[in-house]
Amino acid sequence: MSEKLKILIADDETLARNRLKDLLSDLSDVVVVAEAKNGKQAIDLAVIEQPDLLLLDIRMPLMDGLEAAEHAQKLEQKPYIIFTTAYDTYAIKAFDVSAIDYLLKPIRIERLIAAIDKVRALKPMASAAQMEAIKSLQQNARSHLSIHERGRIILVPVEEVLYCRAELKYITVRTVEREYLLEESLTNLEAEFDTLFIRLHRNCLVAKQHISGYEKRPDEKGDLHWHALLKGVPDTIAVSRRQQHLIRKT
């Protein structure tokens, strides 16, 4: 392997990032291409820098390392992932039974080298298996949805989403500004974000906090049906007959 391994470091503490940079600067065959203060920044930078390896702190504001690792799977060139953590009993237990590597802070150079050697030896197939494991580690709902768009990854904060509507192969994700196409299943989204979204129609999840009210509107035949009104956009969501009991509760 003649080319240097490109590494992205993500940690919210400057000193922790400096520590990793110091250690990595002692190694000859690696180069740090970017530093991020949180998971979201890590993904944004990874899109530009295309690193081979992400060193992700688990506990970061805005987006944690576990979630960033999941979004990173949509990158053109899937990077290897090593997590860093000071103390996290839950995650460490989970890592010990999976193939994913992690480093405990304070980080030792020997451990760092061993971890890098290990990921380099991995075949791409094995990395796919690792990612299944990362998914299972996620205990909290994601903070962002990642949209794959013309080779880029756009992170949409979940609280900005007005509704998700299933169409043929994709899901349309609507925010005040625009629409995005997401490759996921509505059922999984419903299960993950059950506190935020309400299923008003067989094909539509609506964000509770963005509903401004309900109104009866006539359809082509002149029959009246309930529609949910949304804050900030003229779109309305038809409420299916079976879900009408949900309106009464709100």
Partner 1 sequence: MRKNSRLPNLKNLGVLLRILVIVNLLGLLAAMLRSAEISDLPPLIAELSMQIQPILLTSILTLYLLYPLLIKLNYWQGITVIILVVISITTLIAMLFTIYLTFDTVSIPYRSIVLSSVTTAIVIYYFNLQQRAYSPAIAEARLQALQARIRPHFLFNSINAVLSLIRSQPKTAETALEDMADLFRVLMAENRDLVPLANEIALCKQYLSIESLRMEERLVLNWQIDKAPMDALIPPLILQPLLENAVYHGIEPIPEGGEISIIIEQKQNELMIKISNPCNTKNNDHDGNKMALKNIKERLALHFDLEASIKHRTINNQYTITMRLPYEKR
Q: Parallel, antiparallel, or unpaired: how do β-strands 170-174 and 163-167 relate?
A: antiparallel
CA 201: distance to chain centroid? 25
Contact status: 111 vs partner 1 (CB under 8 A):
no
When binding is defined by CB under 8 A, the residue of 5, 7, 10, 16 that contacts partner 1 is: 16
Angle formed at CA 133 by CA 128 and CA 139, multiple of 5 degrees: 140
CB of 77 to partner 1, least distance (A): 27
Q: How far apart are CA 80 and CA 227, in angstroms?
A: 46
Q: How far apart are CA 107 and CA 27, in angstroms?
A: 14
When binding is defined by CB under 8 A, the residue of 48, 86, 176, 224 that contacts partner 1 is: 86
Which window, 102-110, 170-178, 185-193, 223-231, contacts partner 1 (CB under 8 A)? Answer: 102-110
Which window, 57-65, 115-123, 209-217, 227-235, contacts partner 1 (CB under 8 A)? Answer: 57-65
Q: Where are the alpha helices (DSSP H) in 50-193?
A: 65-71, 89-96, 109-121, 124-137, 186-192
When binding is defined by CB under 8 A, the residue of 27, 31, 92, 104 that contacts partner 1 is: 104
Q: How far apart are CA 38 and CA 58, in angstroms?
A: 10
When binding is defined by CB under 8 A, the residue of 9, 24, 38, 66 that contacts partner 1 is: 38
- The token duo for 35 is 């530093």
Contact status: 66 vs partner 1 (CB under 8 A):
no
Q: How far apart are CA 241 and CA 218, in angstroms?
A: 14
Q: How far apart are CA 87 and CA 109, in angstroms?
A: 18
Contact status: 107 vs partner 1 (CB under 8 A):
yes
Task: Report whether 10 contacts 65 (CB < 8 A).
Answer: yes
Q: Which residue's CB is nearer to partner 1, number 16 or number 205?
A: 16
CB-based contacts of 33: which residues, under 8 Å, 6+ apart?
A: 6, 7, 8, 49, 51
Which window, 105-113, 116-124, 222-230, 232-240, contacts partner 1 (CB under 8 A)? Answer: 105-113
Residue at 25: amino acid letter? S
Q: Which residue's CB is nearer to partner 1, number 87 or number 170?
A: 87
Contact status: 131 vs partner 1 (CB under 8 A):
no
CB of 87 to partner 1, least distance (A): 4
Task: Report whether 54 contacts 81 (CB < 8 A).
Answer: yes
Give phi and psi for 101, each to the nearest 5: -95, 150
Q: Which residue's CB is nearer to partner 1, number 52 or number 64?
A: 64
Q: Which residue's CB is nearer to partner 1, number 30 or number 200?
A: 30
Which window, 48-56, 100-108, 185-193, 238-246, contacts partner 1 (CB under 8 A)? Answer: 100-108
Binding residue count for partner 1, defined by CB under 8 A? 22
> Residues in the site for partner 1, rule: CB under 8 A?
12-16, 18-19, 22, 37-38, 59, 61-62, 86-88, 104-107, 143, 159
